Amino acid sequence: MKVKGIRWWMVGLVTAGLMVNYLARNTLSVAAPTLMSEMNISTEQYSHIVVAWQVCYALMQPVAGYIIDAIGTKMGFAIFAFAWSIACALAALATGWQGLAFVRGLLGLTEAAGLPAAVKTSTEWFPAKERSVAIGWFNIGSSIGAVLAPPLVVWAILHSGWELAFLIVGGLGVAWTFLWMILYKHPRDQKRLSDEERDYILSGQEDHFKDPSNKKGSWKKIIGSRNFYAIASARMLSEPAWQTFNAWIPLYLMTERHMNIKEIAMFAWLPFLAADLGCVLGGYLSPFFHKYCNVSLFTSRKMVLLFGASCMIGPACIGLVASPYTAIALLCIGGFAHQTLSGALYAITSDSFGKNEVATATGMGGMFGYLGAAAFTLVFGVMVTKIGYSPLFVVLAIFDIVAAFIVWTVARELKPRATTGPEAGQTLQPAR
């Protein structure tokens, strides 16, 4: 039996995987106040734990992307998902900050495949005009995971202990892995995909993505691309904001806004709910700008990126407000802003590389992003005790605005290098 609109079911499956992926990484930040107290972990030591995850995640992203391009989305995503589930559960055995840093490093190594696999899935299953919408929907998985973390972890702490939260999330990851292996298939193997929908998907994909060859992506070729320079620079500048939100919001609410653990469970998830709205709205803004502003799809992606970066002015003003609830509202604007621009960056990546390069390119861009986040976290862990949170939020807003400017001025829409002759349709280069 054929299933109408099955491509949306596939993106829903990916969204569920990213929910578990981000739930695993956000479990630590919500449990941080409790486990820091129980293990006598300082703020600086906590920043080292966060950096262990970020550095491992960063270094593994290009490797994970290359593996997924090499062995395929289905098997690659499943292997990494099962591994990150085990790594998450192992955190329950940690007895000190060094042990916790080690298992979080393992989590970073294994979680690195999540977004490269998700972007590759969207390029396989969606035409170009719908791809930003698909990316917006699967990107909400990251925010939903962060939304679910506060109530789940606080419930575990109140009923058993923080260790239970890591075990529950690890179990959810294993369950999703089996679900993925049963349900996911590439469009060429999906018997429930109608001929009409298959033709719709293929007819709307760019020529560079239709390349029938099985040649794997080249890191050297990707690095030499003008668009990759723009994407990598933007990821390095913009990722610190999202990682700061993920790792530090509960501590910020407790230490700066004097909330207790129950209040954190009530409010810490709100910026990530706003981030969900940013994911979805950002995905629909691209075709909206394309249609009503009479610009190309590629330019519409850059317009969304600029819009999201401009909204980061909200959290930059957090030091100007006295009310903790206003502060949360500004953090919500920040969550919305970042996920709007993040989805645009992933769409630009999917537009810029072929089917056997897109996961590798996403992973390599992610490596630069998370190395930037790790460097900022090291500075954050030291500076937050000296100058407070407010100036650092201003820096994050400046980073995002500069990132949008770089992409706007450097990234170029791909054009065929030749229309006739032996090279026609084979290689695409940024238009000059």
CA torsion through residues 190, 196, 199, 201, sign: negative
Encode pLDDT of 56-72 as tens digits: 988 898 888 889 888 88
pLDDT value of residue 82: 96
Nearest-angstrom CA–CA distance, 250 and 270: 11
Reported confidence tier of residue 422, pLDDT bands at 50, 70, 90? very low
427 pLDDT higher than 70: no
- Of 250, 227, 294, whose CA–CA distance to 146 is shortest? 250
- Of 175, 162, 144, whose CA–CA distance to 27 is shortest? 162
Per-residue tokens: 80 = 């990494």
The per-residue pLDDT of the chain, averaged, comes to 84
8 pLDDT higher than 50: yes
418 pLDDT higher than 70: no
| 33-37, 284-288, 427-431: the lowest-pLDDT one | 427-431
CA torsion through residues 20, 89, 176, 355, sign: positive
pLDDT value of residue 233: 94
Reported confidence tier of residue 210, pLDDT bands at 50, 70, 90? low
State what percent of residues in the chain have pLDDT above 70: 92
pLDDT value of residue 191: 84
Reported confidence tier of residue 374, pLDDT bands at 50, 70, 90? confident
pLDDT value of residue 211: 52
Nearest-angstrom CA–CA distance, 199 and 180: 25
Nearest-angstrom CA–CA distance, 267 and 270: 6
Reported confidence tier of residue 109, pLDDT bands at 50, 70, 90? very high
Reported confidence tier of residue 264, pLDDT bands at 50, 70, 90? confident
370 and 114 in contact (C-beta within 8 Å)? no
Cα separations (Å) of 34 from 28, 157, 197, 250, 351?
10, 8, 51, 11, 44
pLDDT value of residue 428: 43
Nearest-angstrom CA–CA distance, 256 and 250: 10
Nearest-angstrom CA–CA distance, 112 and 64: 6
- Of 380, 385, 145, 169, whose CA–CA distance to 275 is shortest? 145
Encode pLDDT of 227-238 as tens digits: 999 999 999 999
pLDDT, greater one: 374 or 83:
83
pLDDT value of residue 206: 58
User: 144: phi > 0 → left, psi -120 to 50 → alpha, else beta; which?
Assistant: alpha
DSSP symbol at 217: P
Mean pLDDT of 322-349: 91
Nearest-angstrom CA–CA distance, 142 and 345: 15
218 pLDDT higher than 70: no
For residue 424, count other CB atoms closer than 10 A to its CB: 12
Give the global pTM: 0.70
Nearest-angstrom CA–CA distance, 264 and 247: 14
pLDDT value of residue 425: 40
pLDDT value of residue 429: 46
Nearest-angstrom CA–CA distance, 43 and 257: 17
Reported confidence tier of residue 430, pLDDT bands at 50, 70, 90? very low
